[in-house]
Amino acid sequence: MSAHPALTAASDAALAAYRDAVSRYTREQLRAVEMVGADGTDTMFVDVVVEDAVISAATKAGVNVLTEERGFVDIGSAVTLVVDPVDGSANAAAGVPLSCFSATVAVDGEFTESITTWLHTGLVWWASRTESTFRTSGCTDLASAAVSVLRPHERNWDAWSRVAREAKRIRILSCSTLDAAFVATGAVDAFLDAGSDTHRLMDIAAAVVLVGASGGVVVDAYDRPIEFDTDLTRRWSGIVAATPELAASLQEKVAG
């Protein structure tokens, strides 16, 4: 793995900070709301602890950081890490072993490589736009696909139900970056937000690199470009799929 040094430094810092936090604090302390993040959502204590360690490591490595809690930390570099310090914060705080650190390198706004680290196991998935050791399942048919989804909301219940009725198998892991890694490795055929516009850039940026280099695709359900932007109010309904054909089928189901 020839990862950017800022990626490995940030990943190592996140893993160490997370493991230290779960050994020192109770679950009640870990899930306590500390602040409202830059993305407008509540920030748990576990997020703050890990994010602080990540920002310190990344800026020492000479790169900017874009993260959901603190927003854009600009040190004047052409390189920015798009970071989700703890994806699956509720899982992490509750002791459910389904949460990840993820970061994506953006050079002058272009995504070039990414890393996803499973915080409970230390397992790492790395890829660049041109290099991946993983391959998707190659599944093209929704009726034979195992699909992971975000939990449904009232606003997207109909679209969520259409996907659930058509797919062979449905899973809800509540960790988008882990779901995407499973698509890249062929363990799952697709993962999506079925039209609820829940995804932030850091939820799916790593998948753009990892899954794209592994033979799959990452698109928005409504065909909005997934691109670097420091505006954390932007949202997507990401579809991460083993093939373009499967992604198109999922877009059709979301659209109704």
pLDDT tens digits, 104-126: 999 999 999 999 999 999 999 99
The topology under which CATH files domain 5-128 is Fructose-1,6-Bisphosphatase; Chain A, domain 1 (3.30.540)
Average pLDDT over the chain, rounded to an integer: 96
- Give pTM, 2 decimals: 0.95
Tokens of 78: 């052409």
Q: What share of the chain is helix, strand, coil (3-state, %, to 5)?
A: 40, 25, 35
Q: Tokens for 244?
A: 């373009």
- What is the C-alpha to C-alpha distance for residues 147 and 128, in angstroms, rounded to an integer? 25
Q: What percent of the chain has pLDDT over 90?
A: 95
**108 assigned ligand-binding residue:** no
Strands annotated E in 57-164: 64-67, 71-73, 79-87, 100-107, 110-118, 124-128, 146-149
Asked if residue 110 belongs to a known ligand binding site, the reply is no
Amino acid making up residue 62: G
51 is in an annotated binding site: no
List every span in the chain annotated with CATH 3.40.190.80: 142-255
Confirm or reject CATH 3.40.190.80 for domain 142-255, answering yes or no.
yes
pLDDT of 1: 58
Do 220 and 239 contact (CB within 8 A), yes or no? yes
Confidence class of residue 199 from pLDDT cuts 50, 70 and 90?
Answer: very high
Q: How far is CA 66 from CA 56, 129, 150, 220, 244, in A?
A: 13, 20, 23, 21, 29
Q: Is 68 annotated as a binding residue?
A: yes
- CATH 3.30.540.10 domain span(s) along the chain: 5-128
Contact by Cβ (8 Å): 217, 243: yes
Is the pLDDT at 71 greater than 70? The verdict is yes
